[in-house]
Structure 1
Amino acid sequence: MLTTLRRAGRRALSTKAAVSDFSQALARRQPTFPVPANNIRILAEPREFYTSILDIIGRAQRRIFLSSLYIGSSETELLQALQNALERKPGLEVTIQLDLNRSTRPGKSSARLLLPLLQAYPGRVHVNLFRSPHLNGIMAKLVPPRFNEGWGTWHAKIYGADDDIIIGGANLSKVYFTNRRDRYIHLQQNSRLADYCLDFLKTVSTFSFRLLPSNDAQPSSQYSYPQEDYLVDWPDSQTHPHQIHTKVESAFKTFQASHLSATPSESNDVHLHPLIQGGQFNVREEEETLHSLFDYLKTDETRPLLDLTSGYFNLYKPYQKLVLDAKNINTRIVAASPLANGFYGSRGISNRIPEGYTILERRFMKEVRRRGSSVELNEWEQEGWTYHAKGLWLTPNGSQDPVLTLFGSTNLNARSADIDTELSFMMVVPPGKEAEEKDSDANMVLRRRLAEEVASIRAHAREWRGEERTVRPLTPFMLALVKDKL
């Protein structure tokens, strides 16, 4: 499958030419959305992300669609904004897609938080809960609720209303709105892209459970079950929820094929290519695309700069190979320091997770040194903050501004590749005008904003200190138990 994207011949190219060729080839096999650069906002802070979500909900006329791992139990303001929108516009519908295991934990869960909306607006609010089939059999009964998401989650982050969409890596919870660093890109007034995102969530709903109030709901199948004061309803009586692999693979591939453009755009707009990664369902578009990108960059003689970041740095082995083998690319990586890891100081065995990442980083850096690769690893730390940003940026010869970025839900690690279900976007920005008109050229302004995004992340990056840290004896054993899929 990868070969359909790779170049037939070899010739020396600049980074911009290689990326342009790559994007044109990608458009022939992936959905492609031209977006004017003026309609793309790079949001800088958690608070800006939150206020932007409240703003698009507050202005919604027809539809609101939200996809997240979960909604935090204290997000009453967000729920009130949804209720106000439903009251204001009687024809408006709300579609919410969450992860079942994370959203139905005992106590004040996302499911219980959403029940009042379902009860007050029947037929207008739809809540769907995806459950990874990777956890099945006796283990599905034995694994406690706090740990069952370790076998895979619904991880895509999409926040949309009418024709506005915000894509990033943040969940809908207080910490992501206040002091957890992430990435967020607001795509404004694009009906085609908004339709795509909502259609994607509707596709996922066909193999997800439905959340229903238990007072008057009837189970749709023998696989539905009551929990607390709601019903977790499985709509497909012909398919066991643990055996959806073939159905999901077919649905995703059919969905992507239906959104291919007959004639890829050659406009000067920014091109967005959505990538679905569902490794357990044999859907690996992110993986195929990154292999293709590196293949196009092999003969780039200008030594481009690749910036890569992940809050949970356990770079997927095939991606490690791409980075380590790319002798003509300078790579800078930013990972969370242990203090900036969201699991730092947590209770129980999960407090060893930051140590697990230290072990994984040591292994990676050992290989970097062995090969003599042009790779630099830094760790992000800011007092009172945690780190959750993820993605990559590609900059020609390291002295200009990025022409390409990958953003969305992927952590670029083994979990994202193999067991979580992700949606990310490859954004390719045309070069624009490099001369005196660059301040008024929308593409150049967007590229500068991307450069500022990288700089703001690296402002809190310091030299990696993993070799100096202490790792307790049982941590390597814990890492082996989860097969390095932290």
Structure 2
Amino acid sequence: MLSRAVQLSGRVRTLQRCCALRFASSLHPLVRGLPAKLQQQPKFSVSPKKIQILAKPTQFYSQLLEMIRHAQARIFISSLYLGSSESELVSALKEALIRRPELQVHMLFDLNRSTRPGSRSTAKLLLPLRAQFPDRFHVSLFRSPSLRGILAALVPPRFNEGWGTWHAKIYGVDDQVLISGANLNESYFTDRQDRYLHFADQRRLAQYCFDFIKTVSQFSFKLEPPESTTGPHSVRTDAYNILWPTPEIHPHHIHDTAERALSNLQTTYLKTTPEHLDPQQVTMFPLIQAGQFNIRDEEKALKILFEHLNELGGGLVDLTSGYFGLYKEYQDLILQSANVDCRIVASAPRANGFYGSRGISGRIPEGYTFLEQRFMNAVQRAGRAGGVVLNEWEREGWTYHAKGIWLSTLTEPPMLTLFGSTNLNSRSAHIDTELSFLMLVPQDEIQLRKELGAEVEAIRAYSGAWKGAERSVRIGTKALVGIVGGML
């Protein structure tokens, strides 16, 4: 006779198999096999009723202010920078700190972008709060280690971002999180289109995002008042100090530290992922892409996704990026997936944020036209002209910054989306540090799927036929792309 322990173990395994089958059967046939293939990624279950898809920049800003004004215990924000005119946002943070004496605020930005010369840089805007609330207001500034040596001294501030930025966008308060690709600047609140997904009452997801920020803060500089004490590798200025927290590690040599810390974060959350996911819940996989630190979750996940879809022989992929310099490996996935149709929306030159800029940066929209031309030539050579369509987004007075992927069929709304900070280009893959999420929606969760479909259609409503083949690209721009193409 079997022992009681063996019988119990067998029942547990049977229950696990039943739960796994029940979870898989709740998904659309196109994506049922994906969770098993993504088993090395941590994941979260989220009630679809707690997810809100915002459509407009004004909604994004209103939601952000509302969250800050009702903060109880913590505010955690990650972005590229804080715009010079965002006094209302700074005031909202100050009022929240005054109203709640126990409130902690943690902010993480890119150092190069946040310390540009000028009277209203991110660092200067936030310094008064750091000085007033030294124990509760914390500002970390990540600096890419790729720009070092003589280049660091020679490259002008306006161009030093070419060697990598802190690019993850997280806007969290207590147990709610707003994930976007938008930065904290007036145009992103008014007339610069992006994506915005708000998650309410999500303790584990919010804690992950908070831990992600705290993890990177360990190997980032700290904003401090000018009278503060500094140590090795820190930077002193008349207005503020930039303190390096770990003098035993040079800030140019954080690669191993960063890789280990980010890998440990993912491993920790993978180990604490519940055995059984609720089949009625949305499933989210956090994907860190930090090429310079050898963390390539996004790249691995997209390879799995496209190979999976190509094997099944179906699916319609909508892909968009405000900066369409599609990463070579992603181009190959699209070109080699003959069974997967792909509709792409890129920014028209006039909708590019660099359109009309002075100097070399003014050529950036033209550079993207050149990259688009090369991609469409590759589409023709691969015999994919019928399955890959490129459109361009343009709206009078607006710029375009949205990015992501949706998976649907010709007759059904999306059952999967990728969203977050990634532009899906070479910069995002190799030199910037990104955080995005792959989200699977249960087959019967029609309302949320329709909302994702509406998100796609809202983007396509301002999209027309790609006109890049008709545009001329100057030889100088082609040469520039050849030199710095991976930085676009």
Interval containing the TM-score (normalised by the shorter chain): over 0.9
Letter in 2 for 1:417: A
**1:248-397 equivalence runs, <5 A:** 248-260=258-270, 261=273, 263-301=275-313, 303-373=314-384, 374-395=387-408, 397=409
* 146-155 vs 263-272, which moves further: 263-272
Counterpart in 1 of 2:484?
A: 482
Q: What SS does structure 2 have at the residue aligned with 1:204?
A: helix
Q: Which of 125, 141, 148 matches 1:129? A: 141
Q: What are the ranges of 5 or more consecutive residues in structure 1 without an aligned counterpart?
A: 1-12, 433-442
Counterpart in 2 of 1:227?
A: 237
**1:117-156 equivalence runs, <5 A:** 117-156=129-168
Letter in 2 for 1:267: P
What TM-score do the two structures reach when normalised by structure 1? 0.93
> For residues 55 and 140 of structure 2, what CA distance do their matches in structure 1 show?
30
**1:56 and 2:63 are equivalent in the alignment:** no
> Following TM superposition, by how much is the alpha carbon of 1:14 offset from its aligned partner in structure 2, in angstroms?
13
Change (3 A) 1:233 1:268: same
Q: Is the 8 A contact 2:37 2:304 kept in 1?
A: no
Q: Which of 94, 119, 125 matches 1:83? A: 94
Q: Is the 8 A contact 2:182 2:195 kept in 1?
A: yes
Q: What SS does structure 2 have at the residue aligned with 1:97?
A: strand
**1:3-152 equivalence runs, <5 A:** 16-26=28-38, 28-107=39-118, 108-152=120-164
Counterpart in 1 of 2:17?
A: none
* 470-479 vs 307-316, which moves further: 470-479
> Following TM superposition, by how much is the alpha carbon of 1:19 offset from its aligned partner in structure 2, in angstroms?
1.1
Q: What SS does structure 2 have at the residue aligned with 1:401?
A: coil
> For residues 53 and 62 of structure 1, what CA distance do their matches in structure 2 show?
16
Letter in 1 for 2:404: G
> Following TM superposition, by how much is the alpha carbon of 1:266 offset from its aligned partner in structure 2, in angstroms?
4.1
How many residues align? The count is 459
User: How well do the aligned residues superpose, as a CA RMSD in angstroms?
Assistant: 1.3
Q: Is the 8 A contact 1:14 1:300 kept in 2?
A: no
**Superposition misfits of 4+ residues, deviation over 4 angstroms:** none
Letter in 2 for 1:352: R
Q: Which of 193, 199, 214 matches 1:181? A: 193
Letter in 1 for 2:382: R
Q: What are the ranges of 5 or more consecutive residues in structure 2 without an aligned counterpart?
A: 1-24
> Following TM superposition, by how much is the alpha carbon of 1:72 offset from its aligned partner in structure 2, in angstroms?
0.1
Q: What SS does structure 1 have at the residue aligned with 2:232?
A: coil
Letter in 1 for 2:262: F
1:362-393 residue CA offsets vs partner (Å, 9 max, x unmatched): 00000111112110000000000000000000
Q: Is the 8 A contact 1:131 1:154 kept in 2?
A: yes
Q: Is the 8 A contact 1:34 1:267 kept in 2?
A: no
Letter in 2 for 1:63: R
Q: Which of 244, 256, 278 matches 2:254? A: 244
**1:209 and 2:211 are equivalent in the alignment:** no
Q: Is the 8 A contact 1:64 1:161 kept in 2?
A: yes
1:262-285 residue CA offsets vs partner (Å, 9 max, x unmatched): 514143200011000000110000
